[in-house]
Structure 1
Amino acid sequence: MPAENLTIRTARPEDEPALAVLDRAAWSWVSDVIPQPPVDARLFDERCPPSQFLVAEAGGLILGYIRQAPPTPLASNQHIRQIRGLAVSPASRGLGVGKALVEAACAVAREAGARRMTLRVLAHNAPARRLYGRCGFQVDGVSPEEFWIDGAFVDDVWMSRRLTD
């Protein structure tokens, strides 16, 4: 389904079951630093409310989500937003869903007064790094061997994008 047929909206509490299924389906050691969530895992709680999630849907199906939030509770960096999760259903990858979600999250953050969007991505996650690069993110730094994942050390790559002119 092409990206132009997508609707992107803020998540609602009733989206949680579908988002949890999507989260499990999208899980991989290429993108995740923790084991696959259990079947009964919750996505929403007091630290991760639905308002922090945007969902992409088409034809009544949720194809992906992105979560963005301030990186800390400190007043001194509330002008920054951080992408804290992105998942696209395996069947919808390569169709522009991820790019549409990243751009929508940046637009929402900009409208809320944010000046920068940041994120962390595993160095071996080449598809995500290409996506973020296409969306204007640049590498700010690398934490070498930050994680031990699936039998190998993996670097943690910090990226950001300016949201103001």
Structure 2
Amino acid sequence: MIAPEIRIRQAVLADEPVLAELDRVSWSPLHAVLPAPEPGERFFHDERHLPEHYLVAELPDAGVVGYVRLVPATPLACNAHVRQIQGLVVGEDARGRGVARALVRAAMERAREQGATRVTLRVLGHNAPARALYAAEGFVQEGVLPGEFLLEGTYVDDVLMGRSLG
């Protein structure tokens, strides 16, 4: 169930401190292949991580509680119809309120607005909650890269998922 009080909006540069902290405290090997962010690390740190690539979720009682990153899948013109979700984070205190589902739906709507006809993503094989959320939102498993990542001494699959926006 999506809570009606969830507000989804475009990220702005002023969100950087709260998004950086959210990223830092939410980091987990369940969903991350990069090392944990350090305190004080910038969130919008290069041209591939700009505010316009992010939608944020706000709750009236908590402010910004999550984000989704949506970008073109590649820089190729022949692939311009595809957007890719490259990050979805919801703070622990906001989980179970429909924030992740609202962010995924908003990302699909944003992709449509950008002229995309397809959205893809990659999710770690051991991240059952995320895989279930994406499946519930119409994503299907399209491929698996077995043992693609070595995380905390365990080989983890990289699962490729996608869905049409038609």
Q: TM-score range by the shorter chain?
A: over 0.9
TM-score (norm 1): 0.96
36-45 or 16-25, which deviates more: 36-45
Q: Structure 2: 5+ residue runs without aligned partners?
A: none
Counterpart CA distance in 2 for 1:35 and 1:112 is 31
Counterpart CA distance in 2 for 1:64 and 1:41 is 18
Letter in 1 for 2:27: W
Counterpart CA distance in 2 for 1:3 and 1:23 is 22
1:55 aligns with 2:56: yes
1:24 aligns with 2:13: no
1:80 matched residue in structure 2: 82
User: What displacement does 1:3 show?
Assistant: 2.1
Q: Structure 1: 5+ residue runs without aligned partners?
A: none
1:46 aligns with 2:47: yes
Counterpart CA distance in 1 for 2:39 and 2:93 is 20
Counterpart CA distance in 2 for 1:9 and 1:84 is 17
Counterpart CA distance in 1 for 2:159 and 2:109 is 23
51-60 or 139-148, which deviates more: 51-60
Counterpart CA distance in 2 for 1:3 and 1:13 is 26
TM-score (norm 2): 0.95
Length, aligned pairs only: 163
User: What displacement does 1:144 show?
Assistant: 0.3
Q: Give deviations 1:117-151, integer Å, cap 9, x for gaps.
A: 00000000011001101111000000000000011
Secondary structure of the corresponding residue to residue 103 of structure 2? helix
Task: Within 5 Å, give how 1:1-165 maps onto structure 2.
Answer: 3-44=3-44, 45-59=46-60, 61-164=63-166
Q: Please tell me the root mean square deviation across aligned C-alpha atoms, in Å.
A: 1.0
